[in-house]
Amino acid sequence: MKCLLVSDLHYALKQFDWTIAVAEEFDVVVVAGDHLDISGHVEGRAQIVVILNYLRRLNARVRLIVSSGNHDLDARNETGEKVARWMSKVRNLGVATDGDALDIDGTLFTICPWWDGPSSREQVAAQLARDARRDKKRWIWVYHAPPDHSATSWYSGRWEGDADLSGWIAEFVPDFVLSGHIHESPFQKQGSWVDRIGSTWVFNAGRQIGPTPTHVILNTERQEALWFSLAGAEVVRLAEPFRRPVDELQALPDWLRPLADRGTDPSRG
Ligand SMILES: [Fe+2]
């Protein structure tokens, strides 16, 4: 399975355009939250209309998975906690989203919502416990925030990750966690786009300016994960022991065609 992870596009419409342009190269595309830009000039409800249209077009090209992030909260639940209620409209497009589980050939994706308080947090805990009981060959979580005490949540001298997620990873031991949220972690000296916690691989795609989003490409058959950014490209081989520093990507693997921009081909800079 070839899976593309992007996150934190924050209403950067050119980055959505890029994601649509490359989508057909992948079996699955994951957009892991923060679709909106709450500090932007375009009103939130208008942003949602535009983003839904982009997600509809993406979903026409590829199996699409979309989670909410902390910039996507447009309503409150019965206990007053903020929630991304418009994810129900994402589901109506036929997209797997918050609260869903999606089985693709034995790989189970559990898609978690952003949680803003104890009631929504308990829903996530119940969701993970529910999916832990399901048969699966491989378990992948889509979860906007990276775990705490991980290079994937390092920001400017401290960790900014989700401590509850760290506990759930220890308890349920997923194979992969696909996240975003801490935009800068992949670019910081003590941060990274990748970490290994026990046997769990954690990715944080990060965020950058320009028309191409930072992105992670996971190939589960070839046991490789690649990260592309304006700062360079790196690779981890999942069957080998994890070590730092992570290897720079020297050339595209034979299973990956150059994508429609310079940012995915390190030889073109
Ligand atoms: Fe974000």
Structural domains of the chain, count: 1
Residue with tokens 């991980």: 150
What pLDDT shows up at residue 98? 98
Q: How far is the CA of 137 from the centre of ligand 1 (A)?
A: 31
DSSP string, 76-143: E-TTS-EE-TTHHHHHHTT-B-TT-EEEETTEEEEEPPP--SHHHHHHHHHHHHHHHTS--SEEEEE-
Judged against a pLDDT cut of 80, whether residue 191 lies above it is answered with yes
What pLDDT shows up at residue 20? 96
Q: How far is the CA of 210 from the centre of ligand 1 (A)?
A: 15
Q: How far is the CA of 36 from the centre of ligand 1 (A)?
A: 9
Q: What percent of the chain has pLDDT above 90?
A: 94
Q: Which CATH number does the domain housing residue 27 bear?
A: 3.60.21.10
Alpha carbons 251 and 254: distance in angstroms, whole number:
9
Q: How far is the CA of 193 from the centre of ligand 1 (A)?
A: 14
Task: Give residue 261's pLDDT band: very low, low, confident or very high (50, 70, 90).
Answer: low
Residue with tokens 């892991």: 32
What pLDDT shows up at residue 139? 98
Asked whether the beta carbons of 121 and 165 are under 8 A apart, the reply is: no
**pTM for the whole structure:** 0.96
Q: How far is the CA of 150 from the centre of ligand 1 (A)?
A: 17
- The residue range of the domain holding 189 is 2-268
3-class SS at 185? helix
CB-neighbour burial class of residue 119 (10 A; exposed 0-12, middle 13-18, buried 19+): middle
